[in-house]
Structure 1
Amino acid sequence: MTAARFSTFELLLLQSRDQADSAALLLLAWVLTQQGPVGESERAHLVALTGAFRHGHELTPLLEIAASQDLGAIQLAAEVLQKELHGETSRAFLRLAVTLATEDAEPTLANHHILRFLADLLGVSPPEFAALYASQAGRPLSEPADPSRSDYWQRRERGSRERRRERQPDAEDPTEHAAEQESRASRREQRAEARRQAREAKAEAKRQRQAEKEEEKARQYAEREAERRRKQARREAERERQRAERETQRERRRDDRERKQEHRDDRSQRSRAGNEGASHVHQRANAPDPRIRSALVVLGLEPGASRGEIRKAYRRLAQAHHPDRFHREGEAIVASASRRFQRIRRAYDFLMKVS
């Protein structure tokens, strides 16, 4: 089951000893933050006004919620306040809100609307709220400035011009004016230098990222190349293994055929000669048959070689001159090896036949 997730203000309400006081404190903090930055004196003033509250938690989280304009938390606080405050308690709360909004100056445009919202929330009629405001602030409740009217912006423009005029140097003091101009020029140079350094840092970071990308590409290419070489080596090894296996199988088949032929020859010879021992090639070699002598020369044997010696010589020469051993040497070398192998094979077949 998924655990419920609560907002900061919801957790404060759950931990509060009096939820109505916690909700009222958040709305008062909302009014206070709309008047301007909240310093230590404003914070102390709010603590003094709400000293009788029984919320039992720190003020800082509520000020942070109010400053962040968390409308969800503000709406929840308004609902709690509307449910819990009635009659004189609601009017006491409005007096605190008016005090915070009018302590040092006229309420801001935002607080004009917030105060009216709170009065309407707690069921206080506009005439009653106007009387409460006048008694608490010591002056009548004026209409808030209307940004849709031209005089609102004219007043703002006049105030802006006055502030600019206050910041301008005194024309009658050229020394101060020159110092101000020099200070401005220095600040402009500092800003230009800061921008230049920022551009250089950005360019350096870009070069660094590009170098890292190139390095990463090179590393990936090296890895791919190494993997390709490993795969190629494995394929070559597999082909070599298969070739050796085929050669072994061919040798086994030849050995089987030779053993069978030898067995047949032995039986035939025994039937002709009885208990006479196996004939030797030298008996034939002494005969004037040049084919036997030529075959013995091909196999590198002397006249009188036995069938076993003929077989061993053939295997040795066949392994040394088989064309498959030269498949990487070129077609001419392979063809030459094939011719040598054929001569060796014919000599072997002939000697095994006549022996």
Structure 2
Amino acid sequence: MPSGRFTPFETLLLTSRSQADTAGLLLLAWVMASRGPLTEAQRRQLTSLASECRHGHELTPIFDLANRQDFDAIQLAAEVMQKDRGGEQAYPFLRQAIALSVIDGEPSIAQHHVLRFLADLLGVIPSLFATLYAEQAGRPYAVPEDPSRRDYWLAKEHQRQREEARQQEQDERRREQEARERQEEALRRQREREARERQEEALRRQRERREQEARERERQRQEQARRERAQQDQERARQERARQERHNADQNRRWQQASPNDPRAHRALAVLGLPPGANRAEIRKAYRRMAQTHHPDRFYAQGEARMATASQRFQRIKNAYEYLMRAS
């Protein structure tokens, strides 16, 4: 027969080595899932219980069916349990169901209903169920309040209002505490900022003072170096002037001694308009004066003949100057 005609739980029952154990595992998972989706801890507890069963299949489908509250699968599991585990055979199963429901405290209303449904399903009368509950939970069985009664909802509303008032009071105290903490934190940060600014200001002033002292020392060093260089330059200039004066004097002396016997020198001096015995400074000054006066460019506008005559005169002046400078 093809498996596609069966539901997932029916397939589990067909493949199980013990249909009663498989049905019991689903109902135990249903008890725990009635409080909320199965947690990892609850899954481990069910896995530990399943190790004592003979189901022989994976438990993940059981957990998924319980979390989905698949009532078709739950009804089928209840029918299997009712057929195979009724009466006194149901006591171990009910004890397990009660133990799982009280692990996290008092069972929820939904768990109370599930437990009483299972007890009634398996033929366990209420008084006997209460005895099993007390033995397993360690406290008397308290019948949960009936949500259909008006007093139940009034009590719930009063409890909700008290919870809200208490929560508001706690929130207010928390906000006041947080406000005080924020204020204290702001004051602490402000003090730290002011202390840091004072420290930075002191460091800045100290740094500026050191930089000022360093600049002053550098200025003094540069000033001292400048004075020393100036003195050295003055000394070198004085020595250079003295050397030049000695050199000029020697040249003038040699020139004056040699020029009387040099007819060409006499002619060159005459070209520059200088008397015999003129020194180098006088020769240079005369050449500059005459070069400015007789340069050919000054006669450009007077025609080519005039410019040619000026060029010849300028060349004589230049030749005379160069000869005299070489001779002197």
Q: Normalized against structure 1, the TM-score is what? A: 0.46
Per residue, is there more helix in 1 or in 2? 2
Question: Which is higher, the Rg of structure 1 or of structure 2?
Answer: 2
Q: Which of 1 and 2 has higher RCO (CA within 8 Å, sep 6+)?
A: 2
Q: Normalized against structure 2, the TM-score is what? A: 0.50
